[in-house]
Structure 1
Amino acid sequence: MIDTHIHSDTRGLEDLELMAMCLDAVITLAHDPFEMKSIKVWEAHVEKILFNELERAKKVGLNLFVCVGMHPRAIPPEVDEALDKIKNYVKYDNVVGIGEIGLEKATKEEKEVFIKQLMLVEELKLPAVVHTPRRNKEEITKIILDEISTLNLKNKDIVIEHCNKETTKWVLDEGFYVGLTVQPGKLTPLEAVEIVKENKDFANKILLNSDCSSNASDVLAVPRTVLKMKINGIKKEIINKVAHKNAVDLFRLNIE
C-alpha cells in the first residue's frame, strides 16, 4: 500500500514509524507551513522536506518520496526564481513530481503561478499533484479543469486531489487522476469505498491518500480504507490498483 499525499514534516517520528509498519511507501509534498514572505523562506521549507524529512524517514524505515512546488497558499514573491529552483530540486533521486500546486481562492496570482507550474510539468515530463480547497470545491475544481484545458498539455499525468463524489466524475471525464483523501472533513473510508465502487471501470485512474498534516488526520487512512474495500467486496485487482499499482506507475516509484 502507498499513501500518495502526506506532509511528513508536520508529524512526529512515531507517526512515521507507524506508516513504515503498514505502507510500502509514502509521498510527502510541499505545503503551507507559514507565510512565504521571501524566496528564502520557501526554499528553506522545500529543502527541509527534501533533505531533513528523508533523514527522519530513514531512521524509522519509512520509504519516503517527495514532490516539490508552490502551494497556492504559499507563493513566494519571487515566483520565477522559485521555478528555476524547482528545476534543480527535481534532479534529486527521491523527487517524483511537482506538487502540491493548484488553486485555493482562484485569485489572479494563484492562476498565474498555477499555469507557470503546469508548463514546467510539461517541460520536465513529471507528474503533477493539484490541490483543491475544502471551501467552494466544486467551483474551484471547475476553474482548475478549465485552466488546464486551455494549455493543451500532452502530459496527462496530473492528479486532482481531495476529490469528492461529484468532482471525481469531472476529473475522470478529463482523463486525469483522482486523488481520494481520507481525512476528517474530506472523505470517510466508506465514502471513499463508495466512490471506488461507482467508478470501478476507471480504477486505473484513482489514488488513495491521507493528507496527513497538522490538521486532524489518520496516519492509517489508506490501510483502513483498503480494509473497508475488502469487507465491501471490492475485487483484489481493483484494490491493488488504487492502493498501490497506480502510484507506482504514475510516479515511477522504485520500490521492491
Structure 2
Amino acid sequence: MKDKMMIIDPHIHMTSRTTDDYEAMSEAGIVAIIEPSFWLGQPRTQVGSFQDYYSSLVGWEPFRASQFGIKHYCTIGLNSKEANNEALAEQVMELLPLYLHKENVVAIGEIGYDDQTPAEDKYFREQLELAKELNMTVQVHTPHRDKKAGTIRSMEVCMEHKLDPGNVIIDHNNEETVKDVLDKGFIAAFTIYPKTKMGNERMVEVVRKYGSSNIIVDSSADWGVSDPLAVPKTAALMLKRGIDRKDVIKTCYQNALDAFSKNGKMKESDWLNPKGINQSILYNDNSVLRGQEPRVDADQIN
C-alpha cells in the first residue's frame, strides 16, 4: 500500500456509476474525484430536474463516495447541449448561484460548446462572467465535432472575457489540439475512453512529447461505454512505457490538485489525514450497503 500511487480523477460522472465502481476505484488508488454536472443522455424538461441533480452532486454523491474512502468534489454549470433550450436555460442560470458556494463545488463546469450555436455561445459567455465575478476556476467542454476549431474558439472567448488561462481547464483534448492549448497557457485535460477520444496508449505518447506541465488525465466515465479506472490504468501504462514517475504523478494527481484547489475547497489534507470510514451512518435514512455488514474503522467507534 505504501508504494501505491495516489490518483485524482478530475472528470468522472459518478451519478451514472455503481458502488462497485467506487470500491474498485478506491482499491486502484483513487483518493479524490471531481464530478462535473453534465447532460444525462436525454433532455431535462424543467428546472426542478436541474435542481434535484445539482442537489445530488453536493449531497448524496459526496456521501456515497465517502463510504468508500474517496473525497468527492464537483463542478456546477449549464452544459452546452442543454443551453439550446433557452427558456429553460434562463431558469437554470438563476439557479446556479445557489449551488456555486456549496462546500464541495470547486469550479464552474463543464461549460462550452457542443454544436457551437448562438445559444451555446450566449450561456457560455454568461457563465464565464459568473466565474469572473466569483473568482472561480472554469472547466470547459470542447465539442466532439469540429474539435480543433471549437477548442480554439473556446479559448478565444475565455480570453475575450479576460479570464486567466491558468485558471481554465480545457477538456476533451487530443493530439490535434494540445499544442494550441498549452501554447496559450491553458490547462489541457484529456478524456481517456476505451474506443473514442483519447486512448491510454495515445496519452502516453502525448506526455512523452509534451511533458507533464499543465496536462491532466481524466476518465469522464459516464452512462456510455467508459472506464472509471481509466486514470490508474493510464498511470500504470505510462510507468510501463518508461515515463518518469514524477511526470505520472503530475498528470494523474498533482496537476489536477493544483488546478482545482485554488478556491480553497479542495484540500490534500482531506485524504492524507482522513477520518475513518463508517458505513453504519445513513444519508436521509438511506445506506449504500443493502444489508451488508458495515465497515466501521477504529476511530469511528464511540
Q: Normalising by the residue count of structure 2, what TM-score does the alignment of the two structures yield?
A: 0.80
**Quick one: which amino acid aligns to residue 157 of structure 1?**
N
- Is the Cα contact below 8 Å between 1:100 and 1:129 reproduced in 2? yes
Taking the aligned partners of 2:162 and 2:69, their CA distance within structure 1 comes to 41
Tell me whether 1:6 sits opposite 2:12 in the alignment: yes
The corresponding residue for 1:65 is: 73
Aligned-pair CA distance for 1:161 = 0.6
Where structure 2 has 5 or more consecutive residues not aligned to the other structure, the ranges are 1-6, 273-302
The answer to which of 223-232 and 34-43 deviates more is 34-43
- Asked if structure 2 preserves the Cα contact closer than 8 Å seen for 1:17 and 1:62, the reply is no
Aligned to 2:59, the other structure's residue is in SS state helix
Pick from 21, 29, 37: which aligns with 2:36? 29
Q: Write the letter of the residue equivalent to 2:127.
A: Q
1:153 aligns to 2:163 (yes or no)? yes
**2:172 matches 1:128:** no
- Secondary structure at 2:225 match in 1: coil
Partner-residue secondary structure (3-state), 1:166: coil
Classify 1:40/1:214 alpha carbon distance in 2 versus 1 (closer, same or farther; 3 Å): same
Q: Distance in 2 between matches of 1:24 and 1:57?
A: 10
Q: State the match for 2:253 in structure 1.
A: 244
Cα distance per residue 1:63-104 (max 9 Å; x no partner): 211111111112363445433432231222111111111100
Identity over aligned residues, as a percent? Answer: 29
User: What's the CA shift string for 1:181-209, capped at 9, x where partnerless?
Assistant: 11131111110111111111xx2301110
- What CA deviation, in whole Å up to 9, does each residue of 1:220-247 have, x standing for no partner? 1111111111112111221111111111
**Mapped partners of 1:135, 1:112: distance in 2:** 19
Out of 150, 154, 177, which is 1:140 matched to? 150
SS in 2 for 1:6: coil
Structure-1 separation of matches of 2:73 and 2:38 = 15
8 A Cα contact 2:82 2:89, kept in partner: no
| Aligned positions, number | 254
Change (3 A) 1:155 1:133: closer
Q: 2:118: which partner in 1?
A: 108
The answer to whether structure 1 residue 222 and structure 2 residue 235 are counterparts is: no
Report if aligned partners of 1:122, 1:154 keep a CA contact under 8 Å in 2.
no
For the residues of structure 2 that align with 1:130 and 1:140, how far apart are their CA atoms? 11
Q: TM-score, normalised by structure 1?
A: 0.93
Aligned equivalents of 1:223, 1:78: Cα separation in 2: 38
The structure that is helix-richer by fraction is 1
Work out the CA distance in 2 between the residues paired with 1:87 and 1:209.
26
2:52 & 2:183 partners in 1: Cα distance?
38
Farther off after superposition, 107-116 or 90-99: 90-99
Aligned to 1:164: 174
Report SS of the residue matched to 1:40: helix
* CA shift for structure 1 position 123: 1.5
Cα distance change of structure 1 residues 155 and 167 upon mapping to structure 2, 3 Å threshold: closer
Contact 2:31 2:69 in 1 (8 A): no
Partners of 1:85 and 1:236 lie apart in 2 by 43
In the alignment, which of 102, 107, 117 is matched to residue 92 of structure 1?
102
Classify the secondary structure of the residue corresponding to 2:185.
coil
Distance in 2 between residues matched to 1:21 and 1:84, nearest whole Å: 40
Partner of 1:44: 52
Which consecutive unaligned segments of at least 5 residues does structure 1 have?
none
